Every structure is written in C-alpha cells, then in structure tokens.
Amino acid sequence: MNKITGIKTYEDLIIERDRLQALLIIQRQRVVADWNEVKIELEPVNSAFGVIGKFAHSDKTNPLLNMGLKFASDIFLKNFVFAKAGWITRLAVPFVMKNYSSHFLAENGKGFLNKIRGLAGLFKSHPKKSLPPESTY
C-alpha cells in the first residue's frame, strides 16, 4: 500500500478515489483468475466425486426405468448371481449396480436400447422361404 501523505484538496480526494477504484478492479480480476485456477486444479476431484455420486444415488429422471432396474437387480443379482455370496455382498452389489446402471441408461439410453433391439432382431424367427418343388426323374 502506498502511504498517503495527506489529502489536502478535493482534487486529491478524487484522484485517490479513482486510484482505489482501479485497485479494486485489479484485485477483483485477480480473485476471479485465482478462483478459475482453483476450479481447474480441483477438476479431477470433482469428476471423482461425480462417479462416486453415481454409485451412491440413482438417476431420478425415469421412474419406470428405475423400477425395472430395481426389480432386475433384486431378483437376478441377489437370487441367481450372488446366491451363495455373503449377506454384505448380496446387499451392496445390487444397490451399487442399480444406481450406476440408472445413470448409465439415462445418459446412453437411446443407443443402448437400439443395440438391444438389434440383438433381439437376430433371434426373431423369419418366415421360411419356399423351396422350389422337387423334380422327379
């Protein structure tokens, strides 16, 4: 800080006010720049918490999808995949899978459903083509 020798006139007061306002603008710009640097440095931490949040909370945008995922995780994973696993595994893994899969399907749902439809089309029975009549010799 500069030492003020004393403000003696109104013009000195206006000059000091302008100097302080310019200093305030520079300090605000420094704060904004420092804050942006902190956000950039903490970006990996933010993305890690985002992934952890996806494991901890399910996506609430599609309740029908969540109901189907809950049913599938409860029935299929608990009763078939982890039938002989310990009780902690039977509780924790379906919960985590349900939450993460709800976010995954919310983000990539249309492409994923189109892939499933394509796979389902492979298993459809196609009408049998008629063979040419057998010729008798």
Please state the pTM of the whole predicted model.
Answer: 0.47
Checking if the pLDDT of 119 tops 80, the result is no
Average pLDDT, whole number, for the chain? Answer: 80
Q: What is the pLDDT of residue 89?
A: 82
| In contact, 94 and 73? CB cutoff 8 Å | yes
What share of the chain has pLDDT > 90, as a percent?
25
Quote the CA–CA distance of 15 and 21 in Å, as a whole number: 10
* 50-69 residue pLDDT tens: 878 777 777 777 777 778 88
Structure tokens, 55:
């494991």
Q: What is the pLDDT confidence band of residue 35, given thresholds at 50, 70 and 90?
A: very high
One DSSP character per residue, 9-42 reads SHHHHHHHHHHHHHHHHHHHHHHHHHHHHHHHHT
Q: What is the pLDDT confidence band of residue 17, given thresholds at 50, 70 and 90?
A: very high
Among 52-61, 104-113, 122-131, which stretch is predicted with the lowest mean pLDDT? 122-131
